[in-house]
Structure 1
Amino acid sequence: MKLENCRVVLVRPAGAANVGAVARAMKNMGLHQLVLVQPRFRNRFWVRAMAVHAGDVVARMRVVENLADAVADAGLVVGTTSRAGLYRTPLGSARELAPRLVAAAQSNVVALVFGPEDHGLSNEDIKWCHQLLTIPASPEYPSLNLAQAVMVVCYELFLAAQAQPQSELGPRWAPARDVEFLFQRLRDAFLRIGYLHPQNPDHILFAFRRILGRAGLEERDVKILLGLARQIEWYGDGGWRILQEKQREAGVTAAPEKR
């Protein structure tokens, strides 16, 4: 299986040498799409120097202003994290998820998102990720160098691609930009009916992101859920009164009064 649809996204990388080493690791494993989000360096000398024979990866490298632009067209966005927590529940290790990611990459752009060297992905970054993976390491010092982390993940993808026979194309997932638009509409709808806490609406919404991220959403799924969001907004804006009146006219037991 091919890895040409796999994209490595580095969020706010600090070191040019690290980025060059990432490019080299990618080419070693057959990946060629590299995107930088707000790199914290200007001089690219060490990028080219450390890339060695991966100059073509560096030449095609894109630089964007935000993570949204880096993953907008991706059908699957996978973040990497060394921490577990409220908003960070990895589905599994790089080895466990690699076969699934390779299969998805036959029909979709799969974005692999790595955080800054000093503190990893923020919660704001995590919200763009449909799934999370982790790299098992010694609890004594589990934090890997950026290029090392990229190499491990790319290596697992390479092995999985070699092991899997070419098969029929799988489902094509909705691009991340459409999924994020859906979540914003759901957020507005849930706020309208008081389902989310106004001081921390993203708390519950992160759970929805995790649930739907595990399932994967096709375009038709997004359209159905957008319809649900619109209906919730309509109901919250007083549509329940219209619905209640129609039910009375039809002889249907009225819905309970809104409280």
Structure 2
Amino acid sequence: MDLTRVTVVLDKVRHPDNLGSTLRAMKNCGLTRLVLSDPRTRDFERAKVMGLDGSELLERMVVVPTLSEAVAHGTLVAGTTSRRPQDRPTQWLREFVEEASRESDAAGEVVLVFGNEQRGLSDEELDACHVVVNIPAAPAKESINLAQAVMLVAHECYVASMSAGAPPPRQPPPEPAARAGTLQALHERMRQVLLEADFLNRQNPEAILTEVRRTLERARLSQREAELWLTAFKHLLRAMGREPGARGS
């Protein structure tokens, strides 16, 4: 695994101690890229104290207002949880790390998303991810501390990076996978087209849209393919007499 292509995202982190412990865990495991989305603490000095040698990562840390912005560059975005949601793709941690290794070695961008200390990641926040990664724990206490969860995932990534010999590049080399931001734009444009075509129930469009979105995620579109579909839907809208982003009646 290429650790330089792995980003840790903390969504709505509340406690500077957990932020500091996350910095230390990342330093232990060779991860260097941290993004905070909509943080609920700005006590970075306290985090620096807890982070010890990992405090240097704080200087390179990026802070953004939304989760969608934090994951937009990712080609494989994973939301971590101790739950196993039934309505979305879910992998065990080690199973995911194998896929993440292949993704990073093929020049993809892996994003690991962790929810906040109070409630983890909501279903809506998991919708911003391509896959849900389950961190197994004993049924008597399934909830895992935020910094501990980061350490568990980061360590699995580090172990994967130590594997002897990187796999040879594919011939021809694979196209870059679609970025999360491009896929989100595609989902929104697809929604507009399907609404204009009266394919969706306007009272409950998500019932069908969720299935269509999951199908696209399983297809693992390349960036070029996603942009091609974006353009195709734009032309469909214009053929309907609409412009992308315009509201229908």
Report the TM-score range of the alignment, normalised by the length of the smaller protein: 0.7 to 0.9
Amino acid in the other structure paired with 2:215: I
Distance 1:123 1:5 in 2: 26
Contact 2:175–2:223 (8 Å) recurs in 1: no
Query: Paired residues, what number?
Result: 237
Q: TM-score, normalised by structure 1?
A: 0.83
Match of 1:195 among 190, 196, 199: 199
Amino acid in the other structure paired with 1:148: Q
Counterpart of 1:251 in structure 2 is none
1:86 Cα offset (Å): 5.4
Structure number with greater Rg is 1
Counterpart of 1:56 in structure 2 is 56
1:234 Cα offset (Å): 5.7
Contact 2:114–2:121 (8 Å) recurs in 1: yes
1:227 Cα offset (Å): 4.5
Once the two structures are superposed, the pairs formed by residues 46-195 of structure 1 within 5 Å of their partners are 46-85=46-85, 87-90=87-90, 92-106=91-105, 107-163=107-163, 165-167=165-167, 168=169, 170-195=174-199
Q: Deviations over 1:193-232 (max 9, x none)?
A: 2332323323332223323223311122213322453465
Distance 1:185 1:15 in 2: 37
Contact 1:94–1:153 (8 Å) recurs in 2: yes
3-state SS of 2:35 partner:
strand
Q: 1:116 to 1:55 in 2, by over 3 A?
A: same
Contact 1:17–1:47 (8 Å) recurs in 2: yes
Q: 1:89 to 1:76 in 2, by over 3 A?
A: closer
Amino acid in the other structure paired with 1:127: D
Distance 1:37 1:223 in 2: 26
Counterpart of 2:215 in structure 1 is 211
Could you say what the CA RMSD is over the residues aligned between the two structures, in angstroms? 2.1
1:87 Cα offset (Å): 4.4
Amino acid in the other structure paired with 1:172: P
- Structure 1 outlier segments of 4+, above 3 Å: 84-89, 230-238
1:180 Cα offset (Å): 0.8
1:48 Cα offset (Å): 0.5
Query: 5+ unaligned residues in a row in structure 2: which ranges?
Result: 243-249
1:83 Cα offset (Å): 2.4
1:236 Cα offset (Å): 5.8
Counterpart of 1:250 in structure 2 is none
Amino acid in the other structure paired with 2:200: L
Contact 1:103–1:170 (8 Å) recurs in 2: no
